[in-house]
Structure 1
Amino acid sequence: MGISLAYFMVLLDTTVLAVAEPSIMTSLHTGVVGVGWTTTVYTMALASALVFAGSLADRLGAYRVFLAGVIGFGAASLACAFAPTIALLLVFRAVLGLFAAAIIPSSLALIAGLYPEPGARGRAISAWAAISGVAMAAGPVLGGWLIAVDGWRAVFVINLPIALVVLLLCRTPIAITRRARTLSWLPHLGLAATLAVATFAVTQAGQQRWAPAVLGGLVALGLGYGTTLIDRASPAPIVPAALRRNGAVWRAFGWGAVVNYALTTVIFSIPLVLHTTAAGAGASLLPMTLVVALNPLITGRLVGAYGPLRPIRMGFVAFPAGLALIAVATTVHGQPFVLGLGLLLCGLGVSWTLPALVGFAVSQADPAAAGSVGGLLNATRQVGATIAAAVSSVTVSHHAGDSGAAPFLIAAIVCTLGLVTAVVPMSIPASPVRRKGESERGPR
């Protein structure tokens, strides 16, 4: 229970801040781009550190890393709550993302150690993964209520009692066998630098500052290429050699980034575009968040009956349709039904794709690489969220006097590209365990 609650706390923090954006802009005297960085730095730090944190948990012990992550997350949340300036809030949000990265892989390792029997372990991990939908659903609603009661700082203060409850529930040490793994800092630092510079380039392009945007893009490409070379030569690479040429797994990573891009666009942009209160913004997202919380149970049955690829394709049909309807609703005001229908379709898109993605990615890799696949999938999802926060902030800011449809139309195009790659035939390596509905060429 404590382990799952910690995971809930981390994922809650990725969405709860969305409805606080207008309040933060007023309180800390910043603009849309500035408040956009509060999401960007969190997801950037989380994406950069996830795989490294998994290696650290293997080397130092999952229980130690988990406790350190929970304690640090609570302390960093308190620092965010009392940040007097936007600059300090960004620093503390980055620290928060680093401690969040310590919690996710260590919590999964603890569950795997607590449930050695494969069937029980599978059920426990499924429950752990399902919490992501509940956290996404609860974030905007809980955030709206907290801000209405006590202002935007309350969305950070709430993490402290949650962290204390987690520590109380997990006070008994959990012994997990450690694996001797080499730690390599350089690839992870290179990844962090690449993400930071690329995000800077995106924000500059959105503000039509083309010289720094082009320069930043070139530097990001150079850093990315250099990081790839360093990673390949590293004794502990971010991407294991067994996964480098696995096209099916990399396609799943790309899909994860696309889904999180679209989801972050909706959660980040709706409160800014609707110009409503925090509670109103949270309530307006309910058609999506309720579906995200409840539909994964149905998705699990679809995966069992037809394989993971069918719900992934269904999700990539629903998502761009929903985003297009949201764009219409923000252009033609007074269309709550169209907005609600668009959000409902986006909820179906998220809840069909994400649960199926995890199973698809893991099933197409060697069992020994399952941990790396899970870490990389989470990392690429956060990369998608990072880019979405940057793009949405600059498009909303640049089109402040317009309808607000731009970020949703861009996300719809991105999701359409995801759909194209999902329907194009792929060569999938033989999987150790085939599900019902899968052929030798892969899941339908």
Structure 2
Amino acid sequence: MPTLTPRHTLSPRLTLFATSLGFVLVILDVTVVNVALERIQASLGTDVTGLQWIINAYTLVFASLLLTAGAIGDRYGAKRIFIMGFALFTVASLACGMADTIGALIAGRVAQGAGAALCVPASLALLSASFPEAAARARAVSIWAGVGGLALAAGPVVGGIMVDRFDWPSIFLLNLPLGLVGICVTLAYAPSGSKSAGRGLDLGGQALAILALGGLTLGFIESGALGWTHPLVLSGFACFVVAGALFILVEARGADPMLPLALFRSPVMSASCAVGLLTNFAYYGLMFVLSLFFQTTKGYTPLMTGLAFLPMTALVTLANLLSGRLTARYGPRLPMVMGQALAACGYLALAGIGAATPYGVIVGPLLAAGVGVALTVPAMTTAVLATADRQRTGIASGALNAARQTGGVIGVGVFGSLVAGGAAHLLAGMHVALLLAGIALGIGALISFGQIKAR
């Protein structure tokens, strides 16, 4: 007797839609929260240290779990892990939107980060399974990455609109209907993805990675309020040193390490990860500090703050395309060096701004910074994928993304500690942060010039 239950067919296009939607929400939640910081601070009665934890709780867990999440997806199936990650992210977004204390919000952000880490590697695996032909897969991945770039650009503006109209919980509650749509489409139309039961999980290395990055984050964030010699701060840095050393030892001796150290025998791989860390150190650290500057010092509303960031984010997609063309013609070194030098000049040009500085003076340097970073990232990714062995492209790209997210965590921690003394110290701390960002990208440009080969 024929069944009356409707059966869906696999749909590569709808799989691309669902995975892109998941990636959009993950990227949005990296940037969208920045424009809500002043409202969250007033609503939950926290200080700059608490705001840093709201940003970094998400990015810290995301960065720490990214490599292991890829292995979990390989072992248990990309579709299952993507849906689990998407569901966790969606439920955690509800918890963030309902949070009435700073601790509850930070806990929700931790869960969001875990969900995001599960989603991203699995989404790429689903695309690979849905588009087996190389050219079609390349187009699908470029669309996936392109909408992520648009989300990065739209994040501050979307956040500003939502916070202005509906208050800060709305930036999290917006994820609920979109998350449900993504989960349902994935369940109905995505392939199951391949499984690799033999792929091991490096739980010891994962625990040490969390301890090392968590200790480093703790030290930097708490130093602003407690001082560099406080026992808690020193304990955080000590935890980083000990756990980091043990992590390297475990990865060097492990049979199936989460981060094969042999990857870094390649100068291009090492240089690209260093550049990725330095680039995000400057970009996300300054996005946190400039959000406070626009809202606290200049008195902008969340929407005005989101619009103020447009020069830094709006041309990301166009600059990415230009970077791809330059890389194809000249190799990755030119756009990497040029992009970092341009961004460094933009950051250094902002180092003298103050409360009375007209916004028109700020636009040009913000534009230079945004375009410079957007020129750097695609070329850096291309360099890594071109250097890694075919069977290690996934772990190599995961290592690069983990390095970039780690840079963002450190940037928010370091730059946030410089402005943690309140409004009276914000300008002086911001000026130091801008100088450090310019120096970091100058170093990155030199590394790129010396270690990345020209075509």
Q: Does TM-score exceed 0.5, indicating one fold?
A: yes
* 2:228 counterpart of 1:187: no
Candidates 190, 214, 237, aligned match of 2:257: 237
* One-letter amino acid matched to 2:223: A
* 2:454 counterpart of 1:443: yes
Structure 1 residues 186 and 386: alpha-carbon distance in aligned structure 2, compared to 1, 3 A threshold: same
Q: How does 1:269-280 map to 2 (within 5 A)?
A: 269-274=289-294, 275=296, 276-280=300-304
* One-letter amino acid matched to 2:397: G
- In the other structure, the counterpart of 1:123 is 139
- Is the 1:257–1:380 Cα contact (8 Å) retained in structure 2? yes
Give ranges in structure 2 of 5+ residues lacking alignment: 1-16
**Alignment size in residue pairs:** 428
Structure 1 residues 76 and 215: alpha-carbon distance in aligned structure 2, compared to 1, 3 A threshold: closer
Q: Give the 3-state SS of the residue equivalent to 1:295 in structure 2.
A: helix
Q: How does 1:97-246 map to 2 (within 5 A)?
A: 97-170=113-186, 171-180=188-197, 181-207=199-225, 208-212=227-231, 213-246=233-266
- In the other structure, the counterpart of 1:90 is 106
Q: How does 1:366-405 map to 2 (within 5 A)?
A: 366-398=389-421, 400-402=423-425, 403=427, 404-405=430-431
**How far apart are the structure 2 equivalents of 1:325 and 1:332?**
15
Cα displacement (A) at 1:114: 1.1
Q: Deviations over 1:45-67 (max 9, x none)?
A: 00110000000000000000001
Candidates 322, 345, 355, aligned match of 2:346: 322
TM-score normalised over the length of structure 1: 0.93
Q: How does 1:239-318 map to 2 (within 5 A)?
A: 239-274=259-294, 275=296, 276-318=300-342
**How far apart are the structure 2 equivalents of 1:238 and 1:184?**
6
- Is the 1:25–1:35 Cα contact (8 Å) retained in structure 2? yes
- In the other structure, the counterpart of 1:436 is none
* One-letter amino acid matched to 1:246: S
Name whichever of 379-388 and 215-224 sits farther off.
215-224
Cα displacement (A) at 1:324: 1.3
- Is the 1:59–1:178 Cα contact (8 Å) retained in structure 2? yes
Cα displacement (A) at 1:293: 3.4
* One-letter amino acid matched to 1:179: S
Q: Give the 3-state SS of the residue equivalent to 1:175 in structure 2.
A: coil
**How far apart are the structure 2 equivalents of 1:332 and 1:143?**
23
Q: Deviations over 1:349-378 (max 9, x none)?
A: 121011111111111111111000111111
Name whichever of 156-165 and 233-242 sits farther off.
233-242
- Is the 2:251–2:260 Cα contact (8 Å) retained in structure 1? no
Q: Deviations over 1:260-308 (max 9, x none)?
A: 1111023211120122211111010011111113321222111111111
- Is the 1:396–1:406 Cα contact (8 Å) retained in structure 2? no
* One-letter amino acid matched to 1:48: S
Give ranges in structure 1 of 5+ residues lacking alignment: 429-441
**How far apart are the structure 1 equivalents of 2:286 and 2:58?**
17
Q: Give the 3-state SS of the residue equivalent to 2:259 in structure 1.
A: coil
Cα displacement (A) at 1:126: 1.9
Q: Deviations over 1:156-184 (max 9, x none)?
A: 00111111121232222413222230112
- Is the 1:70–1:99 Cα contact (8 Å) retained in structure 2? yes
Name whichever of 299-308 and 29-38 sits farther off.
299-308
- Is the 2:280–2:407 Cα contact (8 Å) retained in structure 1? yes
Cα displacement (A) at 1:205: 3.4
Q: Deviations over 1:12-59 (max 9, x none)?
A: 110000000000100000001111111111111001100000000000
**How far apart are the structure 2 equivalents of 1:443 and 1:301?**
14
- Is the 1:325–1:338 Cα contact (8 Å) retained in structure 2? no
Name whichever of 107-116 and 120-129 sits farther off.
120-129
Cα displacement (A) at 1:244: 3.6
Structure 1 residues 332 and 78: alpha-carbon distance in aligned structure 2, compared to 1, 3 A threshold: closer
Name whichever of 259-268 and 152-161 sits farther off.
259-268
Q: Give the 3-state SS of the residue equivalent to 1:398 in structure 2.
A: coil
* One-letter amino acid matched to 2:448: A
- Is the 1:270–1:281 Cα contact (8 Å) retained in structure 2? no
Cα displacement (A) at 1:332: 6.6
Cα displacement (A) at 1:91: 1.0
Name whichever of 162-171 and 398-407 sits farther off.
398-407
Between the aligned residues of both structures, percent identity stands at 33
Q: Give the 3-state SS of the residue equivalent to 1:125 in structure 2.
A: helix
- Is the 2:215–2:238 Cα contact (8 Å) retained in structure 1? no
**How far apart are the structure 2 equivalents of 1:214 and 1:185?**
26
Candidates 351, 358, 382, aligned match of 1:335: 358
TM-score normalised over the length of structure 2: 0.91
- Is the 2:20–2:148 Cα contact (8 Å) retained in structure 1? no
Cα displacement (A) at 1:399: 6.4
**How far apart are the structure 2 equivalents of 1:78 and 1:179?**
33
- Is the 1:133–1:351 Cα contact (8 Å) retained in structure 2? no
* One-letter amino acid matched to 2:433: P
Structure 1 residues 123 and 13: alpha-carbon distance in aligned structure 2, compared to 1, 3 A threshold: same
- In the other structure, the counterpart of 1:414 is 440
